[in-house]
Amino acid sequence: MSQILSIGSNPQAVTYNDSLRAAVRFYYAQKFFRAFTFVWLYWNAAKFVQLLERPSVLFSPGHFMAQWLVPVFPAEVLFWLVLLLVGLGNGWNLFLKPSWVWQTVVALGLLWINLLPWSYGAQSHVNQLFLLAHLFLVCLNGEKPSRNHPNSTQFTAFNWFYRGLLFTYTLSGLWKVPSLLYKIGTQSADVHWLGAEAALRNARTSFLEYDLVLPFSDVFVNYAWAWQLGFVAVVYLQVTAVVSAARLPLRPWVGAAFIGFHLVNQFAFLIFFVVACFTLLFLFFPYEAVFPAFRQLRQTSTSQLFTGSRMQARYERKYAQAPPETYTSFEAYRQKLLDRNYYLFGILYLPGLRTVVEASWRLLEQISGKKTTSLSG
Amino acid sequence: MLSNPRRLLCLKVLVLLSMAGSLGSVFTIRQGWGEIYPFTTWKLFTQPRGNKGQVAFYRIYLKEPRSGQYVRQPVKPMRTFTQDEYVYTLDYLVTEALPDSARQKSLAKEKVSAFVQYLYPEAEDYKIVRENYALGNAATPVVLLDTATLLTIASKRP
C-alpha cells in the first residue's frame, strides 16, 4: 500500500496496523495451509496405493523434472520414506519452531510425490500453486502474534510471497490477451473468448469429452453476454493479480474471486482445480477477522474527520499515541469506507480504479470549469 | 527470524527466479526442450475449447465374444483411474502410439494395450477409434460426424 512508511520510533498508526494485520493473517494462513498439507499427503498416499496396482509399463514421466527424478516407478519403501520425511517436516513446522531446513525437505518432497500420479499423461500444472507456496515458505515464516513485532521487513516479505504466487495467474491472463487479439485481428473464423458461442462450445467440448450430456445449455445460450463479461473480468483480475498481491485490503477479494473462478470452471466446464481452491482459501482468508490478536493489539483512532469532495476530499484520523494521518482525493474515500467496513470496501483497491475515478473527476472539473468560463464570458 | 533482511532477500530472489523460470519455460517448450521449470507457464485455455467448431476424442471399442461386434465403451471411472485420468491417459497413450500404428510392435502400442487390458480384463479384442464431432451452435445440437479406427489390438490370450 502506498501509505506504508518506514517504521521508526514513532510509526504511523496505519503502518503499524497494516503490518500487524498482515502478520496475524499470515501466521494463521501458514498454520491452516500446513494442516491442509497433511490432507494432501493422505490423498497422495491413497493414490500411491492405487498406482501400485497399475501396470508398471504405463508409468510415463513426460515432464523434464519427472524424467530426471523418477525415470521409473519408485520402490514402495522409497515413497513411504519420502512421505514420512515430508510429514515429519510439515509437522515440525506446524507444531514446533519452524525451520527452513525442514521446509526445504517438505517443498522438495512434495514436488517429488506430486510427480508420481501425474506421470500417466497428465498436464504438468496440477497442484502447482500448492507446491509453489511451499517453495516460498522456505524463506518465510510468520511468528506467533503474541511474540511478533510487526515491521516493514515482514510486511514486504508477505507481499513478495503473494506476488510470487499470484504471478502464475498474471501469466495465465497475459497469455489470453495476444491470443484474443490475434484472432480478432486476423478475423479468424474460429470462435474466440469474446464470441457469443465461446462458453457454449467450451462446455459442450468438456461434457462431450466425458461422455456426459450438457444439462444446462440454456445458461450459455440465453446469457452469452454474462460469459463474455465474465471473460473480461477474469482476464483483468488475472493480469493485475501480481499488483493486487501487495494490497492488503484487496487480498481476500482476490482469493475469493479466484476460488469463484475455479468453481465456475468446475461446474460449467468440468475443469477441476480442487487443490488450488483449498490453497487460495487457506492462504487468502482474512484470519484477523476471526482471531482476536489483531483487535487486541491494533491502534484505534480517537477521531476521524472527512471534508470536501472529489479531488478536494480530505480524511483525517487522529490517535492518542501516534501522529495523525491525512488522506486526500480518492484515498480519502477509500480510508473512510475502510473504517466503516474493511472487508467489504477492500475491493476499492482494485488496480486502476483510483486512476480511472480521479481521471474522471479531473475531466468533470475541466468540463464544469469551461462551462463557468463560457457563462461568465 | 521474519525480520531478517537476508531472508527477505532470499525470498525476493526465489520469487524472481520463479518468474524467470516460468517465462524461460515458454522458450524451452517452444524449442522442444521441455519444461525447465516445474511450476510451468500456466498457458491454459487461451482459446475456448472447440473453437474451430469440431472436436475429436479417442474411445475404446471392445469386441463382444458372442456377436463379434465392436461395442463402444463410455468414459467412466474404471479401477484406479478416475474419469479425468481415464481421458487424459488414453489421449496421451494413443497420441504417443499413432506414429507407430503401421509397425507390428512398439512400446507405445504396448502401453495402449496394457492400459486397455487393465481397464477391461475380460476384453478379447479391441480397437481405438477417433470420433469426430461437430459442436453445433445455439440452434443446432452436437452431431457425430464420423469415426476412424486408429489402432486394432488383438488379445494376447491363447
pLDDT at A124 over 80: no
Residue % of chain A over a pLDDT of 70: 95
Query: What is the model's pLDDT at position B1?
Result: 46
- Give, to the nearest 10 degrees, the angle between helix A152-185 and helix A224-239: 130
> Tell me, what's the ipTM?
0.90
* B91 or B99, greater pLDDT: B91
Q: Do A193 and B11 touch (CB under 8 A)?
A: no
Residue that the C-alpha cell 524461460 belongs to: B24
Q: Is any Cβ of chain A less than 8 angstroms from the Cβ of B23?
A: yes
Q: Which of residues 90-129 of B touch A (CB under 8 A)?
A: 91-93, 96, 107, 110-111, 114-115, 118
Question: How does the average pLDDT of chain A come out, rounded?
Answer: 91
Give, in degrees to the nearest 5, the angle at Cα A100 between A98 and A106: 90
Q: Is B135 helix (H, G, I), strand (E, B) or coil?
A: coil
Please give the model's pTM, rounded to 2 decimal places: 0.92
Phi, psi of B63, rounded to the nearest 5 degrees:
-85, 125
Q: What pLDDT digit, counting tens, does each position of A311-320 carry?
A: 999 999 999 8
Partner-chain contact A191 B48, CB within 8 Å: yes
Answer yes or no: do B35 and A65 touch at CB < 8 A.
Answer: yes
Q: Are residues A190 and B47, on separate chains, in Cβ contact within 8 Å?
A: yes
Residue B3: which pLDDT band, with cuts at 50, 70 and 90? Answer: low
Looking at the complex, report in whole angstroms how far the Cα of residue A226 sits from the nearest Cα belonging to chain B: 15
Tens digits of residue pLDDT in B50-69: 999 999 999 999 998 888 89
Name the residue among A57, A141, A179 with its Cβ closest to that of B2: A141
- A172 contact residues in B (CB cutoff 8 A): 42-44
Between CA A346 and CA A350, with CA A349 as vertex, the angle to 5 degrees is 115
Which of A64, A135, A161, A222 to substitute to test the interface with B, most B CBs within 10 Å? Answer: A64
Query: 3-class DSSP state for residue B11?
Result: helix
For the cut 70, the answer to whether the pLDDT of residue A46 exceeds it is: yes
Confidence band (pLDDT; 50, 70, 90) for A123?
low
| Summary count for chain B: helices (H), strands (E) | 3, 4
Q: Which tens digits make up the pLDDT trace of A62-121? A: 777 888 889 999 999 999 999 999 999 999 999 998 899 999 999 999 999 999 998 998
Whether A5 shows a pLDDT value over 90: the answer reads no
Is the pLDDT reported for residue A295 higher than 70? yes
Q: Does residue A352 carry a pLDDT above 60? A: yes
Mean pLDDT, residues A176-200 taken together: 92
At residue A9 the predicted structure's pLDDT band, cuts being 50, 70 and 90, is: very low
A274 pLDDT band, cuts 50/70/90, is: very high
Which amino acid type is present at position A11? P
Of A125, A160, A195, the CB nearest to B15: A160
Q: What is the mean pLDDT of chain B?
A: 87
Instruction: Please judge whether B47 and A160 are an interchain contact, meaning their C-beta atoms are less than 8 angstroms apart.
Output: no
pLDDT of residue A376: 65
Cβ <8 Å between B38 and A156: no
Lowest mean pLDDT among A231-240, A272-281, B36-45: B36-45
For chains A and B, CB pairs below 8 A equal 203
More reliable by pLDDT, B98 or A362: A362
Mean local confidence (pLDDT), A177-191: 91
What's the pLDDT band for A231 if we cut at 50, 70, 90?
A: very high
Q: Residue B146 is inside which H or E element, if any?
A: strand B143-153
Going by C-beta distance under 8 Å and a sequence separation of 6 or more, which residues neighbour residue B64?
B70, B71
pLDDT over 50 (residue A8): no
- Determine if residue A310 is left, alpha or beta; phi over 0 gives left, psi from -120 to 50 gives alpha, anything else beta: left
Mutate: best of B47, B79, B110, partner A, most A CBs <10 A: B47
Sign of the Cα pseudo-torsion (B4, B10, B11, B13, in order): positive
Taking the Cβ of residue B56 and every Cβ of chain A, the question of whether any pair is shorter than 8 Å is answered with no
Q: Is the pLDDT score of A1 beyond 60?
A: no
The reply to whether B76 touches chain A by the CB within 8 Å rule is yes
Going by the DSSP 8-state scheme, the letter that residue B81 receives in this structure is B
CB contacts of B15 in chain A (<8 Å) are: 136, 160-161, 163-164, 167
Three-state secondary structure call for residue B142: coil
Of the pLDDT bands very low, low, confident and very high (cuts 50, 70, 90), residue B76 is: very high
Residues A167-191 have a mean pLDDT of 91
Would you call B12 an interface residue with chain A, using a CB distance cutoff of 8 Å? yes
* pLDDT at residue A74, as a whole number: 95
Chain-chain contact of A58 with B22 (C-beta, under 8 angstroms): no
Q: What is the average pLDDT across A162-176?
A: 93
